[in-house]
Amino acid sequence: MSHREQDRVRIFDTTLRDGEQSPGASMTLEEKLRIAEQLEAMGVDVIEAGFAIASNGDFECVRQIAERIRNSTVCSLARAALGDIDRAAEAIKPARSGRIHTFIATSPLHMKVKLQMEPDAVLDAIHQSVSHARRFTDDVEWSAEDATRTETDFLYRAVDTAIRAGATTINLPDTVGYATPDEYGQMYRDVIKNVSNADKAVFSTHCHNDLGLAVANSLAGVMGGARQIECTINGIGERAGNAAMEEVVMALKTRADAMPFHTNIVSTEISKASKLVSLVTGFSVQNNKAIVGANAFAHESGIHQDGVLKAAETYEIMTPESVGVTKTTLVLGKLSGRAAFADKLKELGYELGDNAFQDCFRRFKELADRKKTIYDEDIVALVDDEVATSENRLQVVALNTHSSSSGTAVADLTMKIDDEEKKTVVYGSGPVDAVFNAIKELVEFDPHLVLFQVHAVTHGTDAQAECTVRLEENGRTVNGQGAHEDTVTAAARAYVAAANKLLVKREKTMPDPIVAAG
Ligand code: KIV
Ligand code: ZN
């Protein structure tokens, strides 16, 4: 593998900006901070933390991430408008290393229909926006939205204008996921050859996955001369998503013989990042997803199993350990004490305060009484659930449900609402319906249930259930998770976790986003 600096591909993660544009993927400030910290731990070069002008909430996320993150560059998106750029500059001010990423569309269709601007006016806007951004930072990225449907000569002029105005990174997005790998790679070769000052900037790829080509196109862009890839964890993003970071990173690492480039990503952190993004967004990862799917390293057929036992390389082109997948281990039992539990939490990367530790330990003991074998996954689910549901305005105190195959179900629920206990008994068509109705009655609200999802944390009928609930109210979407060995209790905890976030969002009365970018 080459370690020359000119062969290094920078990883620009846009999970928190383009990724959050996936319908339903909204994240809270705390969740974004957690993800940003994980991205930093992975060695991501640039974290696109949001679109500062879009809302007060977005601004605050970018600002707090800029304050917290020390080893990655923190970036905010901005349209080619002075107000957008001022807001982005303000948000990244606390960053040790901050970037402004400004963009404008350059394809004939977008210029005419969306912007209603003549090409010369677009060139002026590029010059003004990039020069303005340079007043705040030396690190300015400019993107030609819909670059792959832009006329070649106009693209050269636009890139030339941006670099002259001071852009240090030039991004040529395949905004609509239309290009083929050959075309996308050739676009970089052509631009780099025909723009006289191209050597003054780093070129970047940004690919959407509408035809399933985002990763192939990103790699073709690198072969064509790009040295930055924009991507998201699990490939989440607008429509069919963006290029998946775990796939581009592992493709470059595994096939360094064919693609002699390297990244600074700590690949053993990939699995953790994938699980975190999936948990926070409620988007489960398909089993056969490359690198991070549950079956990515599973060998089902006898011939394959036999081969892998003899020599892993027979059917494994990379090891599960290289992406942070460790064998499921039997961890603790009924007799494990506080010290063993504390050690396990440390190994799993948790640092809990005293109260949270005591609550988690109590729940672990309760779980161990009911469940024979406790795995790492059980501990992760339990701690994530406890952290998400404690110290909130709404809490489940007690829940009893009764259901039968031949009649309605009933839920008897006690909740703590702002420190006051309230109780109700409500009917429903099934136990989950009854519990959700009971919560709505006690909280006195009626949000739209967008998603209800259940999965088993481990194998066996005594496995904990992990539930995700997505709620929507007045254009605000939130996700909540809950885990418990009783599936209906897990569902209730997930609903209440989402409801708590909705209350926080209501309090902050964030204005709706003013604009979305591809
Ligand atoms: O897809 C796209 O064109 C974008 C730009 C705003 C970079 O996301
Ligand atoms: Zn995009």
Q: Which ligand is nearest to the CA of 148?
A: 1
171 Cα nearest atom in ligand 1: 7
Q: Which ligand is nearest to the CA of 517?
A: 1
In terms of Cα–Cα distance, which of 174, 297, 286 is closest to 234? 286
Query: For residue 345, what are the CA distances in angstroms to 11, 223, 356, 505?
Result: 30, 43, 12, 31
In three-state secondary structure terms, 457 is: coil
| Ligand 1 contact, 142 CB (< 6 A) | no
| Ligand 1 contact, 12 CB (< 6 A) | no
The pLDDT tens digits of the residues spanning 173-203 come to 999 999 999 999 999 999 999 999 999 999 9
Is the pLDDT at 341 greater than 50? The verdict is yes
CA of 103 to the centre of ligand 1 (A): 8
Is the pLDDT at 253 greater than 80? The verdict is yes
103 Cα nearest atom in ligand 1: 6
CA 227 to chain centre: 22
The pLDDT tens digits of the residues spanning 429-458 come to 999 999 999 999 999 999 999 999 998 888
Question: Which residues pair with residue 138 across a beta bridge?
Answer: none
pTM of the model: 0.86
Q: What is the pLDDT of residue 1?
A: 54
The pLDDT tens digits of the residues spanning 41-57 come to 999 999 999 999 999 99
The pLDDT tens digits of the residues spanning 222-244 come to 999 999 999 999 999 999 999 99
Distance CA(25)–CA(239), nearest Å, equals: 12
| Ligand 1 contact, 517 CB (< 6 A) | yes
Distance CA(55)–CA(224), nearest Å, equals: 37
Pocket test of ligand 1: the residue of 13, 21, 142, 145 to mutate, having most ligand atoms within 8 Å of its CB, is 145
175 Cα nearest atom in ligand 1: 1
| Ligand 1 contact, 103 CB (< 6 A) | yes
| Ligand 1 contact, 324 CB (< 6 A) | no
Residue nearest atom 2 of ligand 1, based on CA coordinates: 518
Is the pLDDT at 332 greater than 80? The verdict is no
Residue type, 498: A
Q: Is 480 exposed, middle or buried (0-12, 13-18, 19+ CB in 10 A)?
A: buried
Q: What is the pLDDT of residue 514?
A: 41
CA of 452 to the centre of ligand 2 (A): 28
CA of 304 to the centre of ligand 2 (A): 39
- Per the model's pLDDT, the better-predicted residue between 18 and 309 turns out to be 18
147 Cα nearest atom in ligand 1: 3
- Determine the Cα angle at 483 with ends 457 and 287, to 5°: 30
| Ligand 1 contact, 102 CB (< 6 A) | no
Q: What is the pLDDT of residue 327?
A: 62
145 Cα nearest atom in ligand 1: 3
Under 8 Å between Cβ of 105 and 117? no
The pLDDT tens digits of the residues spanning 416-432 come to 999 899 999 999 999 99
Residue 168 binned pLDDT confidence (cut-offs 50, 70, 90): very high
Q: What is the pLDDT of residue 2?
A: 58
Q: What is the pLDDT of residue 512?
A: 41
Sign of CA dihedral 23, 29, 34, 37: positive
- Per the model's pLDDT, the better-predicted residue between 128 and 517 turns out to be 128
The pLDDT tens digits of the residues spanning 384-394 come to 888 777 778 99
Distance CA(117)–CA(103), nearest Å, equals: 15
* DSSP state letters, 258-292: TS--B----GGGHHHHHHHHHHHH--PPPTT-TTT
Q: Element (H or E) spanning 206, and its range?
A: strand 202-207
Question: Which residues pair with residue 467 across a beta bridge?
Answer: 454, 482
CA of 149 to the centre of ligand 1 (A): 13
Residue in this structure with the two tokens 């002259």, named with its chain if needed: 164
Q: Element (H or E) spanning 505, and its range?
A: helix 487-508
Percentage above 70 pLDDT, the chain? 96
**Mean pLDDT score of the chain:** 92
Determine which of 50-59, 71-80, 264-273, 319-328 has the lowest per-residue pLDDT on average.
319-328
CA of 102 to the centre of ligand 1 (A): 10
Q: Strands 228-231, 330-332: parallel, antiparallel or unpaired by DSSP?
A: unpaired
Q: What is the pLDDT of residue 93?
A: 98
The pLDDT tens digits of the residues spanning 483-504 come to 998 999 999 999 999 999 898 8
pLDDT average, residue stretch 351-359: 89
- Per the model's pLDDT, the better-predicted residue between 274 and 2 turns out to be 274
| Ligand 1 contact, 32 CB (< 6 A) | no
CA of 515 to the centre of ligand 1 (A): 12
